[in-house]
Amino acid sequence: MAAAYQLVCARCAARYAPDALRWRCDCGGPLDLAFQPRFDRRRIAGRGPTLWRYREALPLPAEATPIHLGEGYTPLLQGRVGGIPVWLKQDHLFPTGSYKDRGAALLISQAVAMGIDRVVEDSSGNAGAAIAAYCARAGLACDIYVPEATSPAKLLQIQGYGATLRRVPGDRQAAAAAAQQAAATTFYASHVWNPFFMHGCKTFAFEVWEQLGQRAPDTLVLPVGNGTLLLGAALGFDELLAARQVDRVPRLIGVQAASCAPLALASASGASAPQPVEAHASLAEGIAIAAPARGEQVLAAVQRTGGAFIAVSEEEIAAATRLWWRHGFALEPTAGATLAGLGRYLSAGDHAREVIVSAITGHGLKAGQALAGLL
């Protein structure tokens, strides 16, 4: 099958041909794709409401068959926070209950196109569940490495899809190290390292662009652990800008949990790389990432859009999660962190005429135990 792309190091620009076992550059840097997307508004509008409506803007060989579960084109609802209108993308309504299906659908479709039959992945839970679901759909074997403290419902979900669950003693970094050892001989379906995942996540931008009437919002307020959604959204708007479909890239506001905020701290001190922090547990388990592998890229993206980081406390996360449940939204605490950040963003300055988009990234039913104490 003809390769539609090349791998390019985000740090040193070295290039590599597609290779099933290469997941980072020889310099240690993360890999991006050299790929030319195409947008044909008429074709897009003529297709069904899934993320595959942007088929020619996704780096899957034209002859490959997407592995799909009906994912994407999630509702964009308008709400009000403190009287200010904001748009909320309902990404907890994906097939596995989190936005991670955006990336998993494309990554596993690409793995199948490459003839892969087994993958490994490490995750705080949601990305593992998404990879496990698409592997189940495609008939691939997969091993998912998770930290031992992962929410029970996410563990059940991973096992329910038939994946082999590997619980690793220690934190999120320990789970990543164990998966990377296995990745020496097995395809690494990493939502952080594999650039196809980010290209799946860029459909967040494409959907927002269409749902707002083919324009870019002024501001995106998004959660950041490893930053796959934020980087995907930035990539999507960069591509739309290059294709002259929008006139700017939105300002990016990244929300972190204060108990684990290497990027917010780096940004505050003007550093271009994540600040070393101790890995503390957080209600927002999905974004408690002490050493984000693409941290330099996230910091650069936020800075070049004139954005900022907001670090929210455990109390703010709990309060926002409770508040939004009371307004009818079933969200997990990680998603509550984003909305706590949104509230903080709106509380300073004048945002009355700003078009602001945020997201609910994970479903509440995934975190029953944590929520039992909160709600």
Residues that bind ligand PLP (CB under 6 A): 98, 124, 126-127, 223-229, 286-287, 289, 332, 334-335, 361-362
Through-space distance between the first and last CA atoms of the chain, rounded to whole angstroms: 51
CB of 300 to Zn ion, least distance (A): 15
Among Zn ion, ligand PLP, none, what does residue 229 contact (CB within 5–8 Å per kind)? ligand PLP
Within 124-183, the residues that bind Zn ion by CB under 5 A are none
Cβ distance to ligand PLP smaller for residue 262 or 286: 286
CB of 225 to ligand PLP, least distance (A): 3
Q: Contacts for 47-52 with beta carbons within 8 Å, 24 or more apart?
A: 49/73, 51/102, 51/105, 51/200, 51/203, 51/206, 51/207
Is position 283 an interface residue for Zn ion (rule: CB under 5 A)? Answer: no
CB of 80 to ligand PLP, least distance (A): 23
Cβ distance to ligand PLP smaller for residue 4 or 103: 103
Cβ distance to ligand PLP smaller for residue 98 or 186: 98
- Please give, one letter per residue, the 3-state secondary structure of 175-226: HHHHHHHHCCCCEECCCCCCHHHHHHHCHHHHHHHHHCCCCCCCEEEEECCC
Cβ distance to Zn ion smaller for residue 29 or 37: 29
**What's 300's DSSP letter?**
H
- The secondary structure of the chain in percent helix, strand, coil, rounded to multiples of 5, reads 40, 20, 40
Cβ distance to Zn ion smaller for residue 29 or 262: 29
CB of 223 to ligand PLP, least distance (A): 4
Please choose, from the candidates 45, 44, 46, 53, the residue with its C-alpha nearest in 3D space to the C-alpha of residue 71: 53
Is position 12 an interface residue for Zn ion (rule: CB under 5 A)? Answer: yes
Is position 217 an interface residue for Zn ion (rule: CB under 5 A)? Answer: no
Please choose, from the candidates 140, 128, 229, the residue with its C-alpha nearest in 3D space to the C-alpha of residue 172: 128
- Alpha-carbon distance 99 to 257, whole Å? 19
Q: Tokens for 22?
A: 């290469």
Distance of CA 274 to the CA centre of its chain: 18
Among ligand PLP, Zn ion, none, what does residue 335 contact (CB within 5–8 Å per kind)? ligand PLP
CB of 8 to ligand PLP, least distance (A): 20
What is the pattern of x (binds Zn ion, CB under 5 A) and - over residues 15-34?
----------x-x-x-----
**Residue 204 near residue 306, CB atoms below 8 Å:** no
CB of 27 to Zn ion, least distance (A): 3
Cβ distance to ligand PLP smaller for residue 113 or 235: 235
- Alpha-carbon distance 89 to 96, whole Å? 16
Which residues of this protein are in contact with Zn ion, per CB under 5 A?
A: 9, 11-12, 14, 25, 27, 29
